[in-house]
Amino acid sequence: MQEKTFQRIKELTELQGTSGFEHEVRAYMRQAMSPFVDEVQQDGLGGIFGIRHHEQEDAPRVMVAAHMDEVGFMVSQITDRGLFKIIPLGGWNPYVVSAQRFTLKTAKGDYPCISSSIPPHLLRGTAGQKTVEVSEILFDAGFDSREEAESYGVRPGDTIVPQVETIRTANGKNIISKAWDDRYGCTVVLEALEALKDEKLAHTLIAGANVQEEVGLRGTKGSVNKFKPDLFFAVDCSPADDTVTKNGTFGHLGEGTLMRIYDPGMIMLPRLKEYLLDTAATHNIPFQYFVSKGGTDAGAAHTSNEGIPSAVIGVPGRYIHTHQTMFSIADFEAAREMLIQTLRGLDASTIHTIVEGK
């Protein structure tokens, strides 16, 4: 991996922006996309997309969408002791939330914050800790009282986001970071736009990132209505399940980009799957089939407007929706090549065949 790409990954994953509060990531995407597109447009909820116009006004429209938001929390109440009750933004395993470092983001500034836990000393002589619920975990920024917290600008509705440094593993094959779901997508969009900047495409390309994916695929509905694509590709990270066995599991690090054939919100159309399989075979791109219990923005896109054929060009990540995700550099590079070659190969005839299913 080139150092430039690693630095782009590091910058994007270390940015902090949970659902509905993606402004730092949006500003980064706007600046990074602008040199490679004809214009940048934003939808009403805050999704941001660079557009490369085809010279023909009626050329087919292809949309590639990451999402900018990462899982986090929102302050719901400030206690008398100056701690915070929260609601989760996105899906969290309650057993990974406690005793972690976060950033509390307020109108007056950002403050260090940690999630509470119970030391074993205080559990002695008891029946032990009961089942943990995320909403029961308090967050602590070191304030003595509600009044002190409020004097620093803390209010209900402020967000709390993981604080993590992005690093390489010792063998150089993997990267550890937060928010690879879905700063992967943000990174691969920028990499593809840069790679294709001097090439003429056979379609109008709309590439960027949605908001509020982690809280119900909300941003996609507005963006596809605004841009009205003929085809939609989500670029997203999915959970790897390979730490114990690869037999009967989906999502294995180092085995290539994900070919998501099914999830609860989407079945990939046969002609679109055929096109992606042909693209992978033609360009020797490693891929792995993937079946998921969760969805992506492609699930919202394909039932929007008059129905939009949609697919996901993805990567697996271990331990997603936590502070620390491990992901493979080789998988990222395979997904990047898959996206670039997919966009290169799409012309009006191919898109018509995919859409019409003939």
Burial class (CB in 10 A: 0-12, 13-18, 19+), 230: buried
Burial class (CB in 10 A: 0-12, 13-18, 19+), 117: middle
Q: Which residues pair with 63 in a beta bridge?
A: 206, 232
Q: Choose, from 213, 214, 255, 337, the residue flagged as catalytic.
A: 213
179, 18 contact by CB (below 8 A): no
**Amino acid, single-letter form, for residue 123:** L
Q: Is 213 annotated as catalytic?
A: yes
219, 212 contact by CB (below 8 A): yes
Going across the sheet that includes 325-328, the strands are 167-168, 174-177, 325-328
DSSP letter at 125 equals T
Distance CA(186)–CA(191), nearest Å, equals 9
Distance CA(235)–CA(217), nearest Å, equals 13
- For residue 245, count other CB atoms closer than 10 A to its CB: 9
Distance CA(128)–CA(130), nearest Å, equals 6
Grouping H, G, I as helix, E, B as strand and the rest as coil, residue 330 is helix
Q: Annotated catalytic sites, by residue? A: 213
